Chain A
Amino acid sequence: MRLDGRRRGGTERGGVISSEAATAEGRVEVRDLTKTFGSVTAVDSLSFTVEPGQVTGFLGPNGAGKTTTLRMALGLITPDRGTATIGGTPYAALPRPATRVGAVLETAFHPGRSGRDHLRVYCRAAGLPTRRADDVLAQVGLTPAGGRRAGGYSLGMRQRLGLATALLGDPRVLVLDEPANGLDPEGIQWLRGFLRHLAHDQGRTVLVSSHLLAEVEQTADRVVIVGAGKLVREGSLAELRDESAGTVLVRTPASAQLAAALTGAGAAVESTAPDALTVTGMTTEQVGAHAFSAGVELHELRARTTGLEEVYFRLTSGAEQYAATGGGAS
């Protein structure tokens, strides 16, 4: 792989200058993008930056404008206002875009054409040697099915073919729109590892959209969250996690005694059941220490892992265009 030398962490051979140049080349910058379809403003003055060497999750409910934003960044939709650049250049002005940016926007292929022939078509169009078709088939694990009609592929195989198409030109930037849709758990596991490898080990820019936080939670380093076409939050996943930290579940037969101790120590305590408390503003260690010094017996003590999802819901609530009543996203 050509990009193996450009690892994260600054120990690569290229030194600071070439590393900075490579970083600039792989940077995706969206500035003030706006697009209106009829009376609906799909994307509204949206700005964010995506850096190489990381997986960036592009999150938002269905209808938040993610696909429109990605299509504008890739020159398929003309924005009403604003710009999107890849390494400082608009996509449509890139000399050989397939060698700079790979995109998986939807599973698009002629059903009567074999996977390998599908890839060869785009090798020719991009001026790449047709053996690249076999390279990328192997890369996504689709070699055995390469000669079969793509119309007979399973959903997971179609997603892999789309990913293979994006990888043809060995691009530094990868853009994936809801790539996990239709993948089975094994496929999702594989995709996560593959995207992390592309970003962390090979230094590529990976921008992956999803309407589910859980889908990118284990993959993404940073998130860009949009709602109703506007930027809601841009930052590292760790920052978002901090916001959700401090919610601890405790089960104890002496809940009143523990609640008093914790409240006295400055935590917000809510009694959710006769023997259960929800504690905000403390870590599990702190809660455990207070329980110990108060001599309270504990039956359960755990941090709530759904906190991040709740932060995401809070950030995007009201932005969902077609929200079902009484239920969250599935």
Chain B
Amino acid sequence: MNAAVDLVRAEWTKLLTTKVGYWLVAVGALMAAGFTALFTAFAGDQGSGPGGPGGPGLPAVGTEAYASLVAGIPAQVVVIAVVLGVIGTTQEYRHRTATPTFLVTPRRGRVVVAKLVAYAVAGLVLAVAAVAATVLVATLYGGARGGAPDWTADAVGTLLRSGLALVVYAVIGVGVGALVRNQVGAVVGALVYLFVVEPIVASVPATADAYRWLPGGALAALTGDGRGTDLLGTWEGGALLLGYGLLAAVLGTVLAVRRDVV
């Protein structure tokens, strides 16, 4: 047990003695603050999309819809959580520190498990920062515009689930990093998946049905910002997302144990 704690602490020491972790948490908080400011600035505006002026727009500040929309914002920075986890594993291969790491801990599965735990906690730190930034901006800026969100139980629940999603995506990132090992490849692959593949799957009618079973669909179900009614239930979505996290973790562990470290 002590050895397991030591390994997790070693991963934290790695994270805290380089800059990338601090940067990612700062960027994640800034993104959440920025999105919140944007949604607040244009709150109540009429839509101007294909529906033309007068179509449905952003909900006005102070409404329940506004609070619900804002509460889902932390989930918009899942990309940062994924990158955090991916870098956590791939930097060992990029800087070749996988060699000393696996020399100290030849039972490599333990290293991956320690990383999963360490980065779940790091994801939690990111989540707290993103949620705090969201709440702060919505309360101050929304209040200045005449209607700070009313933090109902529903809104708080959405906020917390959005934060939870960041934790799960950080874990998925660790697993993906252990699978791919190449840092640039893993980060680019994750970005392409999140911003190209999933949106296409979701918007093409023939594949839209499958979207709910993908991490993005599960995330949308968990954080309740999905417009589609064909998503899973909140907690089913959460369970599916957790399943993806575990799958990535198990695959990453098995491969790290089997592959040669050259």
A and B associate: yes
Q: A interface vs B, CB < 8 Å?
A: 68, 71, 74-78, 91-94, 97-98, 101, 103, 105-106, 108-114, 117-118, 120-122, 124-127, 165
Q: Are B99 and A125 in contact (CB under 8 A)?
A: no
A318→B220 CA distance, assembly (Å): 64
State which of B3, B19, B262 has its C-beta within 8 Å of the C-beta of A112: B19
> What are 20 A-B pairs with beta-carbon distances under 8 A?
A75-B102, A77-B260, A77-B262, A94-B106, A97-B103, A105-B99, A106-B99, A108-B96, A108-B98, A108-B99, A110-B17, A110-B95, A111-B95, A112-B19, A113-B18, A121-B13, A121-B17, A122-B10, A125-B104, A126-B6
Whether B3 and A127, one on each chain, are in contact in the complex, defined by CB atoms closer than 8 angstroms, is: yes
Of B13, B102, B105, B260, the contact of A120 (CB 8 Å cutoff): B13
* Contact flag A106-B96 (CB < 8 Å), given A114-B17, A125-B6, A125-B101: yes
Query: In this complex, what residue of B is CB-closest to A111?
Result: B95
> Which 6 A-B residue pairs are closest in the complex by CB-CB distance?
A125-B10, A92-B106, A124-B10, A117-B17, A108-B96, A76-B261
Query: B residues touching A (Cβ–Cβ < 8 Å)?
Result: 2-3, 6-7, 9-10, 13-14, 17-20, 91, 95-107, 258, 260-262
Contact status B95-A165, CB under 8 Å: no
Q: Which residues of A contact B17 (CB under 8 A)?
A: 110, 113-114, 117-118, 120-121
Q: Could you tell me the distance in whole angstroms from the C-beta of B49 to the nearest C-beta in chain A? A: 44
Contact A77 B100, CB 8 Å, known A92-B106, A121-B13, A125-B10:
no
Asked if B9 contacts A109 (CB within 8 A), the reply is no
Name the CB-closest residue of A to B12: A124
Bound Cα distance A171, B99 (Å): 17
CB distance from A258 to the nearest CB of B (A): 56
- A108 and B102 CA atoms in complex are apart in Å by 12
Q: Which residue of A lies closest to B103 (CB)?
A: A103
Beyond contacts A74-B103, A78-B260, A121-B10: 9 other A-B pairs, Cβ-Cβ < 8 A, are: A71-B262, A91-B106, A101-B103, A108-B95, A108-B98, A111-B95, A113-B17, A122-B101, A126-B6
B97 contacts which chain A residues (CB < 8 A)? Answer: 108-110
Say whether B261 contacts A127, CB under 8 Å. Answer: no
Please name the residue on chain B nearest to A68 by beta carbon. B262
If the complex has contacts A71-B261, A76-B103, A76-B261, are A110 and B9 also in contact, measured as CB distance less than 8 A? no
Q: Determine whether the beta carbon of B13 is less than 8 Å from that of A75.
A: no
Q: Which residues of A contact B13 (CB under 8 A)?
A: 117, 120-121, 124
